Structure 1
Amino acid sequence: MLLIWYPKCTTCQRAKKWLDEKGFSYQLRDIKEENPLQEELKEWYSKSGIPLKRFFNTSGLLYKGMGLKEKLPTMDDEEKIALLSEYGMLVKRPILIEKDCILIGFKEAEWSAALNK
């Protein structure tokens, strides 16, 4: 498992604590130090079944500062993925990548259902 997080994010901290308490082993990757690559984002997007808009941290300062609420609807998927890979802080976090499972944001019930198959 790979947990992509931002250490200062309280939601990311809760997700990490939850994984630790449940005894899951995982690798950590700080999104600010290592942006997701375009290839990774494409793979996660295709595996997740989640709309690409959900990959954006819509409550973040960068998202608001770039006026993306207005711009995203006019962009194609390639442009959106390029933007996410260029600015890691635009990516909603945490992201948990586990074999065929991609979880974005931390909702305990959702993670529990997905990981306790």
Structure 2
Amino acid sequence: MKITLFGIPNCDTVKKARAWLTAQGLDYQFRNFATQGVPAEHLQRWVAHCGWETVLNRRGTTWRKLSAEEQASAKDAASAQVLMQQHPSLIKRPVVEWPLAQGPLITVGWDAQAWAQHASAMQNV
């Protein structure tokens, strides 16, 4: 079972997350939004698990560059997903799919303490 980390390689938070996973000796697969895009089924799963407000990054440069009309178009899960598919860098990073015994866990953003707990839970599988 392998962790899958989704993000953009030049993102500082993604760099920190990748370094942490490597330092912990955890095997992971990196999926690059910029070159590989975001499969719709993954985005749907992330939104269903975490909520669209959590997955949509309204603090980043990409959001600020959108027109007021585009920003206003993100009013529910479906419309936010359309916007995130068009602009993958609107997805808060990193998104991680943790393979746990009770089923995959999805996290959005960097939280070293929570990640340590998830890594520990994986070791108990």
TM-score with structure 1 setting the length:
0.85
Identity among equivalent pairs (%): 22
- The residue number in structure 2 matching 1:86 is 86
Amino acid at match of 1:61: T
Q: How many Å apart are 1:51 and its aligned residue?
A: 2.4
- List alignment gaps of at least 5 residues for structure 2: none
The 3-state SS of whatever aligns with 1:27 is strand
Count of residue correspondences:
114
- The residue number in structure 2 matching 1:108 is 112
Q: How many Å apart are 1:70 and its aligned residue?
A: 5.6
- List alignment gaps of at least 5 residues for structure 1: none
Q: State the distance in 2 between where 1:94 and 1:116 align.
A: 19
Q: Deviations over 1:8-67 (max 9, x none)?
A: 111111100000011111111111112212221111222x3x221111122211111224
- The residue number in structure 2 matching 1:55 is 55
Q: State the distance in 2 between where 1:13 and 1:68 align.
A: 32
69 and 85 in structure 1: CA distance in 2 versus 1, 3 angstrom threshold: closer
TM-score with structure 2 setting the length:
0.80
Runs of 4+ in 1 over 3 A off after TM superposition: 67-70
Q: How many Å apart are 1:69 and its aligned residue?
A: 9.5
**Rg (Cα) greater in structure:** 2
Q: Which has the higher contact order (CA 8 A, sep 6+)?
A: 1
RMSD: 1.9
Q: State the distance in 2 between where 1:88 and 1:68 align.
A: 18
Amino acid at match of 1:105: G
